A and B are shown apart, each in its own frame.
Chain A
Amino acid sequence: MGDHHHGPAKGLSRWLYTTNHKDIGTMYLWFSFAMFLLGGAFAMVIRAELFQPGMQLVEPGFFNQMTTLHGLVMVFGAIMPSFVGLANWLIPMMIGAPDMALPRMNNWSFWILPPAFLMLASTLLMEGGAPAFGWTFYAPLSTTYAPPSVTFFIFAIHILGVSSIMGSINIIATVMNMRAPGMTYMKMPLFVWTWLITAFLLVAVMPVLAGAVTMMLMDIHFGTSFFSAAGGGDPVLFQHIFWFFGHPEVYIIILPAFGVISQIIPAFSRKPLFGYASMVYATAGIAFLSFIVWAHHMYTVGMPVAGELFFMYATMLIAVPTGVKVFNWVTTMWRGAMTFETPMLFSIGFLVLFTIGGFTGLMLSIAPADFQYHDTYFVVAHFHYVMVAGAVFSMTAAVYFWLPKWTGRMYNETMGKVHFWVSFIGFNVTFFPQHFVGLAGMPRRIPDYALQFADFNMMSSIGAFIYGMSQLLFLYNVIAAIVSGEKVSDEKVWDGAEGLEWTLPSPAPYHTFETPPKLEKQPAY
């Protein structure tokens, strides 16, 4: 072994054996982008089939496999790993630590992911086809009526659950134990805060998901009856367990996005983040509330009225801390010296579209109204406004924002702006009409629809193709920047950016903060 300060190893083994947080972060980011394209390809099949009413391209069974795998791949393969990658790259640099607390476990938590998704994707080629029961895999669709490949699906969920738990434990251990001297909790950048809280959510609910799929496995193969009424179980129990995991899960996806936006908006407004402490408390409040609202996903199962009311009011309560956040972001921009580079455009796009998604969420939280909206395209429109325009837009903003720090090279600003506008328009053309068809009663997860929905569906499909294509522009821009982008020499790539990572050279050296930085002048964000 050579000097500790040597650079990365050469060749494939660098990536296989690496324990460097930057290498692992890079692998997470590329992996999640590959999954984003795969999940996107599934979405294209869905939208192509829905381009016109009637059965056009694929069999209904295959269509159901597409909706299922699209959801699973996007949630567990694209969005979650992308934010873990971001955490790996940024958290040590933001808190002045040399690496993650558990570098070897870090390597593991990444490298078990590709096999898990290979296994999940391989179910497409199996007899009986891939899982076709929707990403929420409600029993008994996922037990009694599941294709044989469901066992591979269960194992894939187990593996990626283990990966997420290991990743979260690593993040918590890093943030709690490896902050530079003087970096108190209330001085941590908000991205670190939101990830710390997210990691706690993950540690708490990923085991619940693992429990749910384990029960499925036992029902299918070992003769138990957790979800089978014949043996004394109850299919509704599955929905309770799933959404006890599932609702915190949506905040697991969106809280790191909140963190990213809280870093980028101050940078391009050239003002400190408004209401730092309230942001921290709002994040914690959202995380707490996420545990007591799960049954708002299942208003129609036949709950007692008292239950409906409890979950309705608890859900509406979440609008309060979320509103605090939106208010703080807008107030940060207020009277700021704003400029509109690509990361800022995506952040403002996030702010506007996420807020729309939040409002439709409020509409859905109203129990009596939800009986009309339940399982329609209105729900599809709602969660794509918060998942795509929320999580994916903020992730895109993050890549543009930190890419110069990671690579030492600048992306093409014009192409970035084009990417934003094409994405923004494509996204809205895709999902805004889905509100209308949903309110008019078009159910989700069906390959065919009544004629009156035809025009809006065609619009939706065209928008989806535009949005999908615009991601290739993004890919090209990132690769072109890495290969031949204009070199950046400043440590502070963006003049308004604050935080420890901007005190490092660009590109960030392989090893950073091997001696902790001095923090006297670091402001709190």
Chain B
Amino acid sequence: MRLSQDPTIDTVAKLCSVSMAMFAFVFVVMVPLYNVLCDALGINGKTSSEAYISVSADVDETRFIKVQFIATNNDAMPWSFSPEVTEMLVHPGAANDTVFFAANPTMNAMVAQAIPSVSPSRAAEYFHKTECFCFEQQPLDGNDKAEMPLQFIVDQDLPADIKTITLSYTLFDVTALISDKVASR
């Protein structure tokens, strides 16, 4: 395909399109593709950010999976944040409930976002959350506290060599992020 009669301008036009296409490629292909791949393959320990619609299936009572919970505060996040229990023994296929506690010790209303990560990362795609506080942001008034529920199912297809799954939450302070978005509206 020729973009111009002048061969030099033709070359330049093509190369400019290539470089602009590569710039766009970063935003419209690389970023979404990275997220899609991480979600689909469960790599990077990312769990789905949407609630799992449970399907009826038999509970696999032949084995126990130890699920450990870790709660961490990111950076200068002042909240106290902890799981009710640090570990549970569960059967694959069974629905399990637990809660995390959060308290805002400051005087100000704040908004937090919990980001989950599963280790080993191979287990991420078998760890289904039917209900999770991490699906939404958590607003808390100053000196307020909350119980945050988590309901999960470990998939029956979890590879047999995985006996322990660690679910780690990091709590981020997103108050500034929210107010920025409100301000820019």
Contacts and interface: CB of A to CB of B under 8 A. Distances in A.
Interface stretch (A63-71, A206-214, A376-384): A206-214
Interface in B139-185: 170, 172-174, 177, 180-181, 184
B108 interface: no
Nearest to B11: A173
Secondary structure call for the A interface = helix
A236 B8 CA distance: 40
Secondary structure call for the B interface = helix
Contacts of B74: 229-230
A422 to B, nearest CB: 41
A307 B15 CA distance: 32
B19 A241 contact: no
Nearest to A303: B43
Interface stretch (B26-34, B59-67, B80-88, B89-97): B26-34
B22 A223 contact: no
Chain B, interface size category, equals: 35 or more
Contact of A230 (B23, B174, B184): B174
A173 B12 contact: yes
Contacts of B26: 207-208, 211-212, 215, 241
Nearest to A170: B12
Contact of A101 (B8, B35, B172, B184): B8
A204 interface: yes
B125 to A, nearest CB: 11
Interface string A154-173: 00000000000100110011
A182 B45 CA distance: 58
A169 B12 contact: yes
A223 B15 contact: no
A237 interface: yes
A205 interface: yes
Contact of A208 (B11, B22, B115, B170): B22
Interface residues of A, number: 40
B98 interface: no
A522 interface: no
B16 interface: yes
B121 A302 contact: yes
B109 to A, nearest CB: 17
Contacts of A228: 172
A435 B141 CA distance: 55
Contacts of B18: 203-204
Nearest to A199: B15
A177 interface: yes
A223 B19 contact: no
7 contacts: A172-B15, A207-B20, A211-B23, A215-B27, A222-B184, A236-B44, A241-B26
Given A101-B12, A102-B12, A302-B44, 10 more contacts: A165-B19, A211-B27, A211-B30, A225-B177, A229-B170, A231-B174, A234-B34, A234-B44, A234-B46, A307-B43
Interface of B: 7-8, 11-12, 15-16, 18-20, 22-23, 25-27, 30-31, 34-35, 38, 41, 43-46, 49, 74-75, 113, 115, 121-122, 170, 172-174, 177, 180-181, 184
